[in-house]
Amino acid sequence: MSAGATPGLGWGQALKVGVHAALAALPRALFVPPASPPDEWRRERRREPIGAAGIRDLLIAAWHCGLEREMETAATDLAAHPVPDLAELKLPAVLEALRREDGLADSAAYASLWRQATEALLGRSAHPPEPPRDWVIAAPIPCECEICTELKAFCRDPAARVLRFPLRKELRRHLHRQIDTYGLDMFHETERRGSPFTLVCTKNRASYRRRLDEYAGDAARMEALIRLAPAGSDDRDRKESLRRATVAAVEDRP
């Protein structure tokens, strides 16, 4: 008997058992617990979730093992336990590969995954992003020290764009770290004149620009989903919604 083989279990059956177990564990493999709040001294290593290639390979293996019912169950579990960016980013690429497998695009699991991707993308990008109306920016900083409190007040101010902090080095470093750690939409640079030096914080539109890029990517993925749609009349409304969203994206291009 080969090393690692299970007595009385052929390789084909062993593979099927392994794929079945992997399908059952898929929702857990996709979920990554939120990181604990960062501190000044520690950097925490986080477990990476399974990627699109892993999902693709698992589902293709399941299809060839005849585990269609288990695939459908896994797809239903994914819908019941949504994971950030799974449906929007990973599933369109997964569907592209699954469609190349003979007969797989006609399966219930494929249709379920397509609907998840469609609904997620339409929920996020059915319409172009609204431009910011003022200069309020998000500042989820938990620190309540005096300078962080002043920084958060600056972030809440709809008109203010620049704030200057004359601070000694360790306090400037503290603000640098808070701005970078929590991804605040602002540039920050040290003005090296006078004593102490001044940290100059200037708000920007980084989140809005990222959202525009995300929207453009979503529009391309929605266009692909129209082509990848499963056969059948049940999804006509979703396909029409995708078409309207992609038309809106084209019309919104500068």
C-alpha span between 184 and 165 (Å, rounded): 16
Alpha helices in the chain (DSSP H): 11-30, 52-64, 68-80, 91-98, 108-125, 146-156, 169-181, 206-228, 236-252
C-alpha distances in Å from residue 89, one per residue of 107, 161, 216, 253, 254: 21, 33, 12, 21, 24
End-to-end, the C-alpha distance of the chain in Å comes to 66
Is the pLDDT assigned to residue 160 strictly greater than 60? yes
Tallying the residues shown for the chain, one arrives at 254
Is the pLDDT assigned to residue 161 strictly greater than 90? yes
What is the overall mean pLDDT for the chain? 84
Better-scored residue on pLDDT, 120 or 34: 120
Q: What is the pLDDT, as a whole number, of residue 5?
A: 44
Closest among 253, 188, 249 to 224, alpha carbons compared: 249
Q: What is the pLDDT, as a whole number, of residue 248?
A: 82
pLDDT band (50, 70, 90) for residue 1: very low
C-alpha span between 25 and 31 (Å, rounded): 10
Q: What is the pLDDT of residues 68-107, one digit of tens each?
A: 998 888 888 777 766 667 767 788 888 999 999 999 999 9
Of 16-25, 81-90, 182-191, highest mean pLDDT: 182-191
% the chain with pLDDT above 70: 83
| Residues ≥6 apart with Cβ < 8 Å to 84 | none
Sign of CA dihedral 137, 143, 146, 148: negative
Is the pLDDT assigned to residue 246 strictly greater than 50? yes
- 105, amino acid identity: A
Q: What is the pLDDT, as a whole number, of residue 198?
A: 96
| Residues ≥6 apart with Cβ < 8 Å to 167 | 147, 175, 196, 197, 198, 199
Sign of CA dihedral 156, 180, 46, 215: positive
**Joined tokens for residue 150:** 């002043």
Cis peptide before 196 (omega within 30 of 0): yes
Mean pLDDT for 6-23 is 77
Mean pLDDT for 115-138 is 92
Is the pLDDT assigned to residue 41 strictly greater than 60? no
Phi then psi for 119, rounded to 5 degrees? -65, -40
Is the pLDDT assigned to residue 4 strictly greater than 50? no
- Is residue 105 packed enough to be buried (19+ CB in 10 Å), middle (13-18) or exposed (0-12)? middle
Q: What is the pLDDT of residues 26-40, one digit of tens each?
A: 777 776 655 555 554
Of 41-45, 55-59, 87-91, highest mean pLDDT: 55-59
Q: Which range has the worst mean pLDDT, 105-109, 165-169, 185-189?
A: 105-109
Q: Evaluate if pTM is beyond 0.85.
A: no
Better-scored residue on pLDDT, 231 or 224: 224
Q: What is the pLDDT, as a whole number, of residue 33?
A: 59
Of 23-27, 46-50, 177-181, 230-234, highest mean pLDDT: 177-181
